[in-house]
């Protein structure tokens, strides 16, 4: 479907609709339904994993879609759109924005420019998933169009928080000139608001909306704490 970019002219919620093969909601049809629900309720964009899910979602709704491909490569810790193969597949599938790892690991910052350039030549924008302030600054210099705090807590050297990394959102928003996307461990509307207050242009919420098995576990654990 033709993308309606106008939703991105306002700050707002991006819903991450992702279910890997080992998750109960895995499947293009399920993720498409999640994305339709997101659009119905006022989300301004979707983030999703894999060619099938990108295609299913693009067929059904006109919100901008951020596509990524998670792939584990033996001997590497980089798993969000690690190579050119994934970038090409995401572009081919019709995503509007490619999300990729822009962390300072395994010489990634020297190599990732090639992936960014490819996406730009294909008319697709790039969201850099970073884990630290320094990586966010580097990502802007490398030409990223959006900078997401996605990987804070997921690299060994970044802040290891149970909560969202609001400080990273705040620090980056003060310095970079491209939109900062708050992403990672945002579970409540109050936290989403706090991310906006910290300067985020957009707020990505994933598990708290689209991973029922994690939502259910939180309830069960909360009850068990009372019971035992």
Ligand X SMILES: CC(=O)N[C@H](C=O)[C@@H](O)[C@H](O)[C@H](O)COP(=O)(O)O
- Sites of contact with ligand X (CB under 6 A): 16, 18, 68, 150-151, 154, 183-186, 204-208
- Tell me how far CA of residue 46 lies from CA of 16, 59, 63, 171, in angstroms: 6, 13, 7, 25
* Closest to ligand X by CB, 101 or 140: 101
Smallest distance, ligand X to C-beta of residue 206, A: 3
- Tell me how far CA of residue 175 lies from CA of 28, 146, 181, 183, in angstroms: 38, 13, 14, 18
Q: Determine the residue with CB nearest ligand X.
A: 206
Tokens coding 201: 């242009």
Residues 119 and 98 sit within 8 Å (Cβ to Cβ): yes
Smallest distance, ligand X to C-beta of residue 94, A: 18
* Closest to ligand X by CB, 176 or 181: 181
Smallest distance, ligand X to C-beta of residue 6, A: 24
Smallest distance, ligand X to C-beta of residue 227, A: 27
Smallest distance, ligand X to C-beta of residue 225, A: 22
* Closest to ligand X by CB, 83 or 207: 207
* Closest to ligand X by CB, 178 or 205: 205
Cα 143 from Cα 174, distance rounded (Å): 18
Residues 165 and 184 sit within 8 Å (Cβ to Cβ): yes
* Closest to ligand X by CB, 91 or 192: 192
- Rg of the Cα atoms in the chain: 17
């Amino acid at each position: 479907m033709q993308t309606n970019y106008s939703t991105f002219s306002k700050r707002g919620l991006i819903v991450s609709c992702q279910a890997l093969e080992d998750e109960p909601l895995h499947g293009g049809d399920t993720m498409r339904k999640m994305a339709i629900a997101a659009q119905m309720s006022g989300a301004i964009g979707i983030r999703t994993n894999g060619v099938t899910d990108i295609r299913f979602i693009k067929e059904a709704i006109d919100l901008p879609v951020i596509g990524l491909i998670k792939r584990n490569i033996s001997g590497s810790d980089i798993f969000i759109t690690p190579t050119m193969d994934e970038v090409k597949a995401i572009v081919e599938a019709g995503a509007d924005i490619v999300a990729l790892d822009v962390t300072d690991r395994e010489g990634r910052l020297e190599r990732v420019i090639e992936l960014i350039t490819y996406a730009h030549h294909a008319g697709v924008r790039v969201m850099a998933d970073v884990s630290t302030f320094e990586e966010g600054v580097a990502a802007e210099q490398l030409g990223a169009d959006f900078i997401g705090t996605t990987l804070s807590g997921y690299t060994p050297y970044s802040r290891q928080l149970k909560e969202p990394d609001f400080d990273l959102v705040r620090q980056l928003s003060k310095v970079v000139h491209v939109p900062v996307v708050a992403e990672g461990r945002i579970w409540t509307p109050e936290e989403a608001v706090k991310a906006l207050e910290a300067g985020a242009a957009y707020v990505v919420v994933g598990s708290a909306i689209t991973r029922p098995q994690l939502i259910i576990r939180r309830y069960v654990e909360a009850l068990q704490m009372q019971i035992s």
